[in-house]
């Protein structure tokens, strides 16, 4: 898990992971109705990466602290038919983090061996159990996982809440200019990484020759350059977010509540 989660390129998969999470109607309702998502996309990225890095690299005490903060933030997020601390919803959130991380890693570095894949899968179970999903709910092996995955994608509806989050995520006028510069490329890879069956329900074209052509250009550029970047630079986000987490813990005792100059601040759950 550490080998994969430490790669900074995975941040590029953050958008598709979030949209996949929104396929669960309860997750989509919780995010769209209870978090100030349009104004706090960066905060959601920070809290999600903090959760993943803490589970992979944090001390036992840091892990315990983050887990408690997650559940404290999730407790008030509930409404008719949904609750942020629902174990089925949190299982799906953990599943999206595993699926997108391993998929993108192998797109860049090549396929992992069956042995390594099995070991990584077992290690990623910590993301589910940290969200208080019982160990028995995490599919027993990769075959069972992908059966669960396909069943969820076949049965989850893409709701209006999910589409609203998509618009806030990929067409957000509130993000800083330096992020806007990268949005066209991010939209391309996000759509192309998304399962085809989900593209139209989210409002995208199922197929686009120009989009596919640009995706191949971006993908080729990443594959030919990123693996050769010094590992210290590739893993910089781990150091950055862990340092930020520890600073926030020391100064405020909390890492998932922030402030914003654009609209009211709300408690932002780490995941889901």
What is the pLDDT at residue 39? 61
Q: pLDDT tens digit string along 105-117?
A: 999 999 999 999 9
Which positions ≥6 away from 125 have C-beta within 8 Å?
94, 135, 138
Q: How many CB atoms lie within 10 A of CB 271?
A: 25
Closest by Cα among 78, 82, 88, 9 to 49: 9
Mean pLDDT of 31-42: 71
d(CA 199, CA 188): 12
What is the pLDDT at residue 254? 61
pTM as predicted: 0.86
* pLDDT classification of 256: cutoffs 50, 70, 90: low
d(CA 259, CA 182): 25
Q: pLDDT tens digit string along 4-14?
A: 999 999 988 88
Structure tokens at 246: 């520890």
Residue 232 confidence (pLDDT) above 50: yes
Structure tokens at 197: 């069956």
pLDDT > 90 in the chain, percent: 59
d(CA 192, CA 116): 26
Query: If you average pLDDT over each of 30-34, 41-45, 89-93, 175-179, which comes out highest?
Result: 89-93
Mean pLDDT of 154-170: 93
What is the pLDDT at residue 269? 45
Q: Which helix (H) or strand (E) holds 83?
A: strand 82-83
What is the pLDDT at residue 14? 87
Q: Where are the domains of the chain?
A: 2-252
Residue with tokens 């179970």: 125
What is the pLDDT at residue 36? 67
d(CA 173, CA 72): 30
Residue 249 confidence (pLDDT) above 90: no
The CB-side HSE value for 203 (13 A sphere, CA atoms) comes to 13
Question: Do 30 and 257 contact (CB within 8 A), yes or no?
Answer: no
Q: How much is the mean pLDDT over the chain? A: 86
Residue 84 confidence (pLDDT) above 50: yes
* pLDDT classification of 178: cutoffs 50, 70, 90: confident
Greater model confidence, 256 or 229: 229
Residue with tokens 């069943």: 151
């Amino acid at each position: 898990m550490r080998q994969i989660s430490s790669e900074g390129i995975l941040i590029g998969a953050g958008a598709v992971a979030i949209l996949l999470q929104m396929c669960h109607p309860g997750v989509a309702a919780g995010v769209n109705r209870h978090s100030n998502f349009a104004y706090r996309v960066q905060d959601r990225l920070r809290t999600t990466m903090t959760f993943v890095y803490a589970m992979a690299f944090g001390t036992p005490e840091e892990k315990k602290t983050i887990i408690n903060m997650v559940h404290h933030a999730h407790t008030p997020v509930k409404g008719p038919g949904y609750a942020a601390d629902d174990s089925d919803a949190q299982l799906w959130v953990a599943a999206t983090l595993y699926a997108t991380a391993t998929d993108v890693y192998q797109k860049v570095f090549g396929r992992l061996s069956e042995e390594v894949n099995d070991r990584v899968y077992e290690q990623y179970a910590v993301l589910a159990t940290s969200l208080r999903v019982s160990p028995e709910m995490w599919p027993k092996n990769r075959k069972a996982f992908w059966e669960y995955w396909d069943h969820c994608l076949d049965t989850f509806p893409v709701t209006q809440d999910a589409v609203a989050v998509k618009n806030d995520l990929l067409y957000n006028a509130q993000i800083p200019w330096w992020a806007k510069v990268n949005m066209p490329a991010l939209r391309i890879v996000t759509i192309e990484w998304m399962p085809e069956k989900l593209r139209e329900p989210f409002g995208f074209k199922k197929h686009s020759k120009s989009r596919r052509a640009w995706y191949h250009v971006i993908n080729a550029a990443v594959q030919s350059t990123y693996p050769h970047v010094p590992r210290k630079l590739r893993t910089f986000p781990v150091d950055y977010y862990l340092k930020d987490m520890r600073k926030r813990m020391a100064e405020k005792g909390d890492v998932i509540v922030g402030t914003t100059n654009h609209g009211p601040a709300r408690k932002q759950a780490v995941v889901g």
